Chains A and B, each alone.
Chain A
Amino acid sequence: MGIPETCKEMPVTTLSTPTIGSAGKTGSWRTFRPIIDNSKCIHCLLCWIYCPEGCIIRQEDDSVKIDYDYCKGCGICSNVCPVKPVKAITMEREEE
């Protein structure tokens, strides 16, 4: 759908259908970067469930990757990671 020229071509109210990256690559907002240590990951998928942006990519073997194009670095994945004593996902400061 192109950009409407008159109201008649607009939806009746502000309706949005799911699209990838309609607000641009939000990964640029990130201050802290989640880093996965696959040797520690227990494939519990809690990070995959809790990520509010769908940026944890589940692989065939239930190991996970992070979509850095859109991950805003909120840290929820690291927070919910149950691995002890060192979490499988840690947050590191992005380089300036």
Chain B
Amino acid sequence: MEKTVIDTANHIAAYAAKAARVQVVAAYPITPQTSIVERIAELVENGELSAEYIRVESEHSAMSACIGAAAGGVRTFTATSSHGLALMHEALHWASGSRLPIVMVVVNRALGPGWNIWADLTDSISQRDTGWIQFYCADNQEVFDTIIQAYKLCENEQVLLPAMICLEGFILSHTYMPVKIPDQEKIDEFLPPYKPKWFLDINNPLSHGNIVTPDWYMDFRYMMYEAMENAKKLIPEIDKEYGRQFGFEHGELVDKYKCEDADLILLTMGTIGSEAKVAVDNLRREGLKIGSARIRVFRPFPTEEIRKLAENTQMFTVIDRAASLGMEGPLATETKASLYNQEDKPLIAGFIAGLGGRDVTFKTVEKIAKKSLEWMKKGKVEKETSWVDVRD
């Protein structure tokens, strides 16, 4: 039976792993992710979740164990954060290149030094080119639903790639919110058991990840590129199907809010997208035509959706809770790249805010929007990248 629970995004992520009937969990604790794997350990211990729980000595080993398990043909889950994710980096490539549909929750946290355990997307953005699908969530319900949706997506034969479900440390990870957990039978119907395309089988021996010469390597990479393109088509379909079954949709690739007539659209990821919706409502009361577009999926990047949004608006303001040092906010870069070959491009201004867990509230977003509107009236973005509230 469907039930509503009030809990943190981390515990909700553990319940989603249970609802997805994951068979192997290999994980290593790191703040602010720890309460996910702690809760899963409890669920395995008390028999609520029938899974093999592997305690490992590092995140590199956690991902390697997940790769082994997934290569054995079972549904696999892990979770990490920040430096743990950075340590996994090499194994992330092995997971995607082996085309294993591992799902991992990344609780976004800043990288040191200075030692900082608070929200910042730099950890997962740094893994952009590993061939992992990346979802970014804005609330606890979306965390639950996206984990279930991700298994459905990743295990699809047209995709067969792993996915990160990203949620911001503390802002979501340790914040209690009501979440509807659908009936288990219905989840099982939506997400049937994993049928691997290939797996390690003693009766039919094979090995994977062997040497591949220059003559063939690029073709395997091209297949991964195509799989990402397929994912881009499937994500909206799966989100809609989930919505029909369970009543929650999260905006497919881009969660759009009041964009139809907007002169200025705020592009965000994660929880800043929720604040942006409040800012949009407040500014609209002042007669300002503002909209919000929260990017749910960073890889594959929703280029076509960005182009469509650009057709009817004068300006994009991109707010990044990450900085690519030496360039700009990563979402700003991707947005500009998506539009370069288009005619009649909107103005694009980049803002970097909230690094290392600094609060970004609707008031911050309103201030950013008002600055952007000044530039929009002048027809010129006076500062390519602005660091919000920095002591410059």
Contacts and interface: CB of A to CB of B under 8 A. Distances in A.
A13 interface: yes
Contacts of B99: 12-13
B198 to A, nearest CB: 6
Interface string A1-25: 0000001001111111110000000
A74 B98 CA distance: 31
A17 B97 contact: no
A14 B226 CA distance: 16
Contacts of B219: 7, 10
A12 B198 CA distance: 9
B205 A17 contact: yes
A71 to B, nearest CB: 21
B220 A13 contact: yes
Nearest to A18: B205
A15 B220 contact: no
A7 B226 contact: yes
Contact of B206 (A7, A10, A12, A15): A15
Main secondary structure of the interface of A (DSSP, over half): loop
Contact of B197 (A7, A12, A16): A12
A46 to B, nearest CB: 24
B226 A13 contact: no
A7 B198 CA distance: 17
Contacts of B97: 13-14
Contacts of B112: none
B222 A7 contact: yes
A12 B205 contact: no
Interface stretch (B20-28, B208-216, B238-246): B208-216
Contact of B207 (A7, A10, A12, A16): A16
Contacts of A18: 205-206
Interface in A1-60: 7, 10-18
A50 to B, nearest CB: 20
Contacts of A7: 219, 222-223, 226
A14 B206 contact: no
B276 interface: no
A10 B220 contact: yes
Nearest to A4: B219
A10 B223 contact: yes
B212 A14 contact: yes
B210 A14 contact: yes
B265 interface: no
B373 interface: no
20 contacts: A7-B219, A7-B222, A7-B226, A10-B216, A11-B198, A12-B99, A12-B197, A12-B223, A13-B97, A13-B98, A13-B208, A13-B220, A14-B97, A15-B206, A15-B208, A16-B207, A16-B208, A17-B206, A18-B205, A18-B206
User: Which 4 interchain pairs have the tightest Cβ spacing?
Assistant: A13-B99, A12-B99, A16-B210, A17-B206
Given A13-B209, A14-B220, 8 more contacts: A7-B226, A10-B220, A10-B223, A13-B97, A13-B220, A15-B207, A16-B206, A16-B207
